[in-house]
Chains A and B, each alone.
Chain A
Amino acid sequence: MDLLGKSQELAPPRKRVDGAIVFRRFTKSIQANGGDEDAYQNSIVEETRELFDCEVDELYRGTGAKRGRRHTLPQAAQEAYMVNESLSANQLEQLEGTIGGETQQEVNARIQSVVKHQAKQTRKWLPW
């Protein structure tokens, strides 16, 4: 990606990036690789476990956040998800067209493995 001199080619117009935008890119990269709703669900649970050592509902309960509303999580948790989902999406976008499998489960498992591996790496850079 060329950040300089090619801004006129970028569309749609730029806007402030937040966790929801990154998350949407992440879910699209799962779908673009052939992952279904199970791949998405497993990826969420796997990344949460790797990043925070707990399940999604435990994270919400433990931090006093409102269930299903990511923006109510502590800033550090939102940032961790954002970083991990951005990096996972980078990887999955590069893999587009290469992830195969005999069954949907196999395709899902490969996608989940990419997300889990990335989350393990991301975790190393987190302060907890």
Chain B
Amino acid sequence: MNNAELWKAMKLPELKTKVRDTWNTLNSWKDDGVLQPKNFVKEVKSFGDRRRKDTWIKALCRFRAMLAYKSCLDSWALLTITFNFRPERWDYEYRHQILDEFLMYPDALEIIKGGLEDLYSQDFSNQEREEANGFFELVAEREGRTRRFGNTNGFAGEIPGVSTAA
């Protein structure tokens, strides 16, 4: 069974719930932690027409990337946990867009590079490196593509350290 058969495309109601859950989490991290429903509506509207699924997908990926960025205490854990996309994960379907959104942060590549440097240092075993396989597979998938990498000018193969470290 290949990866594509392991997951099914998320239906709109579930997608909306995931967007809301992610937004709730992000807002709970703020100092006041107050959830204002009208702010949620306003923010989703900023991605487009709320009747369209792609609007919700855009919102989800932006919010998931924000979650990843804000919780990144250790860049190697970004690769072994946060971006270790596996087919059984509910956000697997959107892994490329989430990474695209993450790469919009000015220091995103630097963070990923730092994570790779750590993972390939002598402090990590091969087994621990394998925990980032979901991330490596994601990058490998992108290498065969001609799609652009977020707002950068490069492709996946140009992530510093990826091609040399593996």
Give residues in A with beta carbon < 8 Å to B: 20, 23-24, 27, 36-38, 40-42, 44-45, 48-49, 55-57, 66-70, 81, 105
- Interface on chain B toward A: helix, strand, loop, or mixed SS? helix
A81 CA to B89 CA in the complex, in Å? 28
Q: How far is the CA of A36 from the CA of B21 in the complex (A)?
A: 15
**A68 contacts across to B, CB distance below 8 A:** 72-75, 78, 110-111, 114-115
Which residues of B pack against A, CB within 8 Å?
A: 21, 25, 29, 67-75, 77-78, 81-82, 84, 89, 107, 110-111, 114-115, 118, 123, 128
**A27: chain B residues within 8 A (beta carbon):** 77, 81
Chain B proximity of A42: nearest CB distance (Å): 7
Compute the total of residue contacts between A and B using a CB distance below 8 Å: 63
Q: Which residues of A contact B110 (CB under 8 A)?
A: 67-68
Docked Cα-Cα span, A53 to B26, in Å, equals 16
Kindly identify which residue among B68, B77, B114, B123 contacts A66, using a CB–CB cutoff of 8 Å: B114
The 16 listed contacts between A and B (C-beta, < 8 Å) are: A20-B74, A40-B77, A40-B82, A41-B71, A41-B82, A42-B71, A44-B73, A45-B70, A45-B71, A49-B29, A55-B29, A56-B71, A67-B75, A67-B107, A69-B114, A105-B21
